[in-house]
Structure 1
Amino acid sequence: MAEIREVLESKEMADVIKAIDELKRKYGAQSDREQFQHNDAEHLWPMALTRIGKYKPDVVLKLLLDDHEYYPGYKAILAAGFGGWLIAPHSKEIREALVAQAAVMHMDQAEILAGFDTPFTLEKDIAARYLFTGTEFLVEVYDCLGGYRAFGEAPSFDELWDAFDSVEKTINTAARAIAYLHHAIDRFGGPGFQFVPSLNKAVSVLDELKSAKRAYAYSEKYVSRSLLHQRWSQNKQTLALLYSASTIRINRKTLLQIISEGFFSYEDHKSFFETWVGRARYVATHIFARMKGDPDLERKTHRILGEGKIVAFSPPKLDQIELASFDRIFRNYINP
């Protein structure tokens, strides 16, 4: 059998590479990558953003919101990691599991495009690998993840998420607390009112709700005051995005539910990005900016979201029990 060096340096291999390059130029997905001239000082590898050093959500979000495609699968990987950071900001394992899941989906889609639902051929394999998956994806994502072994050995998102006891419920509680503040500001934040929003006021509504009716099944929906305070204080920069995601409905679910279940993807949800981030900016300016006791909240939120369009929106409706609890807590503002 020939030595591998002989194979790699052979004329036949050179002809194969030349032919693949021609196929990519003629039939491959158009990419903005050429403008970077493969300058690594300007181009950020997605796995470097996911794995190396402290996660930089502001950098990732800026890339997700820009108009460049870079190369197929690039933003899919960034979006998967960003979704993992939102729900578990301090877990690299959650981010990597979602990134691996997104990588598999990208490669599966490439095989579908190449016609792998019919018998295998070498031509289909070449098309799937080099045209639809893409060489850059194979280098910057697949290889960096560790190749095919990584997909077989890595824990799934569901396995990891099951160990994060009460986190999803804590996220939902935080989002609902912001909704109560949103309602309060819309009703009592105008001229003539001396209302200053705070987390404690939102928690008071939750406490009132807890004692209102046992039938409300409070413990099935919300977590304790201490868990909410912990999430709020340790993950301030995620709160506006989590709340705004809870207000966007996609079919029968909210965007927040989709993210929490590990199904958030760039391809499926990119049309919602501008509204989502615009609403989060509105939360920062309309709600967080008025919270005098927590100045870091607005500052950290703006640092992640950056400058851009602000999308005003109304808070989600409260059910009758919530509304009664809300009115009892804020009765001094209702009847000044």
Structure 2
Amino acid sequence: MANLDEILESKEMADVVRAIEALKQKYGPSTSPKGDLQSAAKEHLWPVALTLVGTYKADVVLRILLDDNAYYPGYKSILAAGFGGWLIAPRSKKIREALAIQAAAAHINNAEVQAGFDEPFTVRKDVAARYLFIGTEFMVEIYDCFGGSQALADAPSFEELWDAFESVEKTINTAARAIAYLHHAADRFGKPGFPFVPSLNKAVQVLDQLKDKNPTYPYKEKFVSRSLLHQRWSQNKQTLALLYAASSIRINRKTLLQIILDGFLSYDDHKDYLQMWVSRARYVSTHIFDRMNDPELSSKTLRLLGEGKAISFSPPKLDDKEAESFSVIFRNFIKN
């Protein structure tokens, strides 16, 4: 049998490469209504490096997800998955990696389905899947950088890793509910000239009132302790506006926040919601956070979200017990 070098340098291999390049030129995603793939590809940052190497640059990733540049198939899918992992576990590279690998495997699987792999295998289908639907750039910059098929197969699942984070999901939901109380307060008492400054302490007082005065309320099932809430708030300020804004967006029967917490944020499935999501988060920053005596909260949020359109939205409805607790804590403002 011929050695590898002989095979790679053969005329037959050269003919195969030329044929594949011709296929890519004719049928590949070389252009897009939203931009030129080739020009974008010359300057883009490699997604695995952005997701896993060094300090995670969430602001850079978010700009790419929001831009109109055309990248190769799968590029933004990896970035979106990693971004979702960063939002819920900012200090865990393993969570980002698991979700990014999950997105890579999904891209490969979708390409194989698109190429007809659900029916008998053929070389033609394999060529179409690998070089047109998966894409050469994806194979080089993502598949190979992750370590190939063995690395994808051996990677721990998001579910396995997330189980070890115990109360993080409930902590995030508690933080989102605390911001909801401040959202209600800002809507009602945040008019010009009105002496109201929202604060996390006020939101915590609503939670405390709810817990202390309503012994039958399922508080422990819904919320975490004051200390866990303060810890999440103080250590992950830049994520709060996006997490709360995600809780306000419903996609079918779930909120975007629940989709993210389940590890299913997908660029292909959710790209139509990205601009609204970020615009709502900017509204949270200007309408609520900018009124608070916490310059770091505002500055970190702005650094992540950048300048742009802010879209107002209504806070979620409070249940009867929450509304009662809210009224007790904010009664001095209500009387005014």
Q: TM-score range by the shorter chain?
A: over 0.9
**Structure 2 match to 1:21:** 21
3-state DSSP of counterpart to 2:194: coil
Runs of 4+ in 1 over 4 A off after TM superposition: none
Instruction: Give CA-to-partner distance per residue, 1:45-100, whole Å, 9 cap, x none.
Output: 00010111100000000000001121100000010000000000000000000000
Query: How many residues of Structure 1 are paired with residues of Structure 2 in the alignment?
Result: 332
Shift of 1:190: 1.1
**Structure 2 match to 1:317:** 317
**Structure 2 match to 1:33:** 37
Shift of 1:191: 3.6
**Structure 2 match to 1:79:** 80
Shift of 1:142: 0.3
Instruction: Give CA-to-partner distance per residue, 1:177-230, whole Å, 9 cap, x none.
Output: 000000001111114521101110010001111123232210001000000000
Structural mapping, 1:28-177, within 5 Å: 28-31=28-31, 32-36=36-40, 39=42, 42-177=43-178
3-state DSSP of counterpart to 1:215: coil
Q: What letter matches 2:39 in structure 1?
A: Q
Q: Could you list the runs of 5+ residues in structure 2 that have no partner in the other structure?
A: none
**Structure 2 match to 1:271:** 272
Q: What letter matches 1:75 in structure 2?
A: K
**Structure 1 match to 2:260:** 259
Instruction: Give CA-to-partner distance per residue, 1:272-322, whole Å, 9 cap, x none.
Output: 111100000001111000002x11001000100011111111111111110
Does the aligned pair in 2 maintain the 1:212–1:321 contact within 8 Å? no
1:189 aligns with 2:193: no
Shift of 1:151: 1.4
3-state DSSP of counterpart to 1:155: coil
Distance 1:97 1:126 in 2: 28
1:332 aligns with 2:332: yes
Q: What letter matches 2:91 in structure 1?
A: H
Q: What letter matches 1:283 in structure 2?
A: V
Identity %: 70
Distance 1:241 1:72 in 2: 26
Using the size of structure 2 for normalisation, the TM-score is 0.97
Distance 2:30 2:52 in 1: 27
Q: What letter matches 1:321 in structure 2?
A: K
Does the aligned pair in 1 maintain the 2:29–2:37 contact within 8 Å? no
Distance 2:70 2:211 in 1: 48
Distance 1:245 1:154 in 2: 28
Does the aligned pair in 2 maintain the 1:188–1:333 contact within 8 Å? yes
3-state DSSP of counterpart to 2:216: helix
**Structure 1 match to 2:8:** 8
Instruction: Give CA-to-partner distance per residue, 1:121-175, whole Å, 9 cap, x none.
Output: 0100110000000000000000000000111211000000000010000000000
Using the size of structure 1 for normalisation, the TM-score is 0.97
3-state DSSP of counterpart to 1:216: coil
Shift of 1:13: 0.7
Q: What letter matches 2:256 in structure 1?
A: L
Distance 1:330 1:243 in 2: 21
Distance 2:245 2:109 in 1: 31
Structural mapping, 1:157-306, within 5 Å: 157-292=158-293, 294-306=294-306
Does the aligned pair in 1 maintain the 2:30–2:38 contact within 8 Å? no
Does the aligned pair in 2 maintain the 1:181–1:197 contact within 8 Å? yes
Q: What letter matches 1:97 in structure 2?
A: A
Q: What letter matches 1:296 in structure 2?
A: E
3-state DSSP of counterpart to 2:285: helix
Shift of 1:33: 3.1
Distance 1:55 1:99 in 2: 14
Distance 1:234 1:175 in 2: 15
